[in-house]
Amino acid sequence: MIDLREWLDTVDGLGELHRVKAEVDWNEEMAAVSYLAASQEGAPALLFEKVKGYPAGRRVLFNAIGTSLSRIAVAMGMAPGQTAMAMIREARERLKRRIEPVEVAEGEAPVNQNILEGDRVDVTAFPAPKMWPLDGGRYIGTADVIITRNPDTGVLNMGTYRQMIQDSQHVGLYLSPGKDAKLHLQRAWQQGKPLEVAACWGIDPLLLIIGSQGFPKNLCEYEFAGGVKGEPLAVVKGRVTDLLFPAHAEVVAEGIIRPESVRSEGPFGEFTGYYGRPEAETPLMEVQAIHHRNDPILTSALMADYPACEQSLFFSIIRSARIWDDLDRMGIPGIQGVYVHPAAAGGFGMVTVSIEQRFAGHAQQVAALAAQCPGGAYYTKWIVVVDEDVDPSDTDQVIWAMATRCNPIDDIDILRNTWSTWLDPTQNPPEDRPYGSKALINACKEHKYQQIFSRRTTITRGMYQRARERWQELGLAGEPPEPRAFEDFQNLQNMQSVSRRLEEFSGM
Ligand SMILES: Cc1cc2nc3c(=O)[nH]c(=O)nc-3n(C[C@H](O)[C@H](O)[C@H](O)COP(=O)(O)O)c2cc1C
């Protein structure tokens, strides 16, 4: 399994890594530079090599994935240069595999090059950024993974949750309702016990991709990370906890959250492009040991409006794959493609499913299930179903379908009181959160009138071939795009009978 450093070398080889050698301040400047750079699609990953007030070697990575499909491909062990839909298909296959992690000895784990315990623990020794002007503090964990153990079943969970520095030995841990670590914490506290935590603050981007997705609660995400890569993840046992964490991580903090221990945290500029809920109490982690590699790299994720929001594009790929898989596992036929739009609140807000309509009510069934399946239920507000001749990843085509095949009064349904988050800016007053709502938009040709629905203007396959062959002779650059639909003259009888009826009607 490659680690962050190998990933950086590969990405550097692709010309997609920019090393910032000049000194930059952790206090808003690093995040501001990242925001401006990443606001342009295709921006490189940014490695800040000299942070003000810190020795050289204490580095911070921003925009690791950003809007680059190639950087996602490298993280997931795929070939760079594929389209989003091709990557979604491949991600589905890779996520079906599960490979258990292997435990390595303490001395074999690069993360154990330095181990600090007791009084030597100081989280402020790492150049954690303060991101936005109104943030409540410095966030040391954003592109991170947090390891906890289910007190009932013993299953380990790896989830991405933010962490704000409270003081040199304490960090806050923000957990949304229903998230695995939150459930572990609630159960441990019910039992009057502390929860053990291992916070990994510098990681291989694959772990961020996997850790930020909801997987079945009885399975450990390490197995999915191994499955995606096709080899087991190396993990190592903690010094002060019974947890296993990635052996190749850059920085890992181990500690506990004591029963009912909370402290005020936030606000934080969020994936929605707004500050989240106002300052509130969140669980307080007491850091008891820190492990780090020599010259450690913190991995930071800027949360912002698109395209500067770090989670946008990889959420698009991986959530699309998860939702498609959920629909498949439920046995829903006719699914041609699923696409989560990266610009919709960090890829959380909108999903489009393309189907071949096979029966009455099929489109409505797909919309309702895509809205509520495990891979798609959290936050998603807009669920659009389109026919098979519409590429769900082509926003122009989806909008065209919504404008020509959807009649809002008949084709939009609303689900109320659904799974959402304290971070949704539309739910006010904030105390009313975290319930959400979802619009199911049927932008398919009406099933009932499919046969007589206005015929789409398309060219014949023969004419496409002819134009393709003559493309250069006609002086046109490149190659013509391949249309998703061709005129096949099927069901023309119906159309002709409709136009006859229309003629009769107009002659009356
Ligand atoms: C960069 C980033 C930061 C995130 N921060 C948080 C957070 O602070 N709290 C939270 O509950 N979810 C956060 N999420 C979303 C969770 O990672 C996601 O819901 C995931 O499913 C949680 O893991 P779990 O399903 O094992 O609980 C974040 C996601 C990303 C990509």
pLDDT by residue, tens only, the chain of 508 residues: 579 999 999 999 999 999 999 999 999 999 999 999 999 999 999 999 999 999 999 999 999 999 999 999 999 999 999 999 999 999 999 999 999 999 999 999 999 999 999 999 999 999 999 999 999 999 999 999 999 999 999 999 999 999 999 999 999 999 988 899 999 999 999 999 999 999 999 999 999 999 999 888 899 999 999 999 999 999 999 999 999 999 999 999 999 999 999 999 999 999 999 998 778 899 999 999 999 999 999 999 999 999 999 999 999 999 999 999 999 999 999 999 999 999 999 999 999 999 999 999 999 999 999 999 999 999 999 999 999 999 999 999 999 999 999 999 999 999 999 999 889 999 898 888 889 999 999 999 999 998 899 999 999 999 999 999 999 999 999 999 999 999 999 877 666 665 666 566 555 4
Q: 385 and 426: one domain? A: yes
CA separation, residue 127 to residues 37, 51, 132, 300 (Å)? 20, 7, 15, 11
Identify whether the C-beta of residue 148 lies closer than 8 Å to the C-beta of residue 157.
Answer: yes
For the chain, give percent helix, strand, coil, nearest 5.
Answer: 30, 25, 45
Tell whether 142 is covered by a domain.
yes
Q: 146 and 272: one domain? A: yes
3-state secondary structure of 456: coil
Q: 121 and 248: one domain? A: yes
Q: 124 and 88: one domain? A: yes
Ligand 1 neighbourhood includes 162 CB (under 6 angstroms) = yes
Give the residue, by CA position, lying nearest to ligand 1 atom 18.
212
**Which CATH number covers residue 230?**
2.30.110.10
Ligand 1 neighbourhood includes 354 CB (under 6 angstroms) = no
**Which CATH number covers residue 413?**
3.40.1670.10
Of all atoms in ligand 1, which is nearest to the CA of residue 221? 26
Q: 160: which DSSP letter? A: -
β-bridge pairing 435-443 and 412-419: antiparallel
Tokens of 295: 């010259």
Tell whether 304 is covered by a domain.
no
Distance 188 CA to ligand 1 centre (A): 20
Identify whether the C-beta of residue 82 lies closer than 8 Å to the C-beta of residue 43.
Answer: no
b/e per residue 332-346 (b: at least 16 CB within 10 A): bebbbbbbbbbbbbb
Tell whether 202 is covered by a domain.
yes
Tell whether 456 is covered by a domain.
no
Ligand 1 neighbourhood includes 142 CB (under 6 angstroms) = yes
Distance 76 CA to ligand 1 centre (A): 19
Question: 385 lies in which domain range?
Answer: 312-449
Distance 205 CA to ligand 1 centre (A): 14
Distance 288 CA to ligand 1 centre (A): 23
Q: 397 and 293: one domain? A: no
Distance 184 CA to ligand 1 centre (A): 15
Identify whether the C-beta of residue 299 lies closer than 8 Å to the C-beta of residue 143.
Answer: yes
Give the amino acid at 415.
Answer: L
Ligand 1 neighbourhood includes 212 CB (under 6 angstroms) = yes
**Residue of 171, 208, 212 with the most ligand 1 atoms within 8 Å of its CB, for mutation:** 212
Q: 481 and 439: one domain? A: no
Q: How many CA atoms lie within 13 A of 442 on its CB side?
A: 21
The Cβ of residue 465 has, within 10 Å, a number of other Cβ atoms equal to 10
Tell whether 466 is covered by a domain.
yes
Distance 387 CA to ligand 1 centre (A): 32
Tell whether 42 is covered by a domain.
yes
Q: 388 and 426: one domain? A: yes
Distance 370 CA to ligand 1 centre (A): 20
Q: 290 and 425: one domain? A: no
Give the amino acid at 446.
Answer: E
b/e per residue 383-396 (b: at least 16 CB within 10 A): bbbbbbbbbbbbee
Domain boundary (299, 326, 348) is at 299
pTM for this one?
A: 0.93
Identify whether the C-beta of residue 200 lies closer than 8 Å to the C-beta of residue 246.
Answer: yes
Distance 198 CA to ligand 1 centre (A): 15
Tell whether 402 is covered by a domain.
yes
Tell whether 306 is covered by a domain.
no
Domain boundary (278, 299, 320) is at 299
User: What's the number of domains the chain is made of?
Assistant: 3
Q: 387 and 441: one domain? A: yes
Distance 213 CA to ligand 1 centre (A): 7
Domain boundary (299, 323, 348) is at 299
Ligand 1 neighbourhood includes 254 CB (under 6 angstroms) = no
Of all atoms in ligand 1, which is nearest to the CA of residue 217? 26
Give the residue, by CA position, lying nearest to ligand 1 atom 12.
161
Burial (Cβ within 10 Å: 0-12, 13-18, ≥19) of residue 292? buried
Q: 422 and 479: one domain? A: no
Identify whether the C-beta of residue 71 lies closer than 8 Å to the C-beta of residue 63.
Answer: no
Ligand 1 neighbourhood includes 174 CB (under 6 angstroms) = yes
Q: 124 and 49: one domain? A: yes
Q: 13 and 162: one domain? A: yes
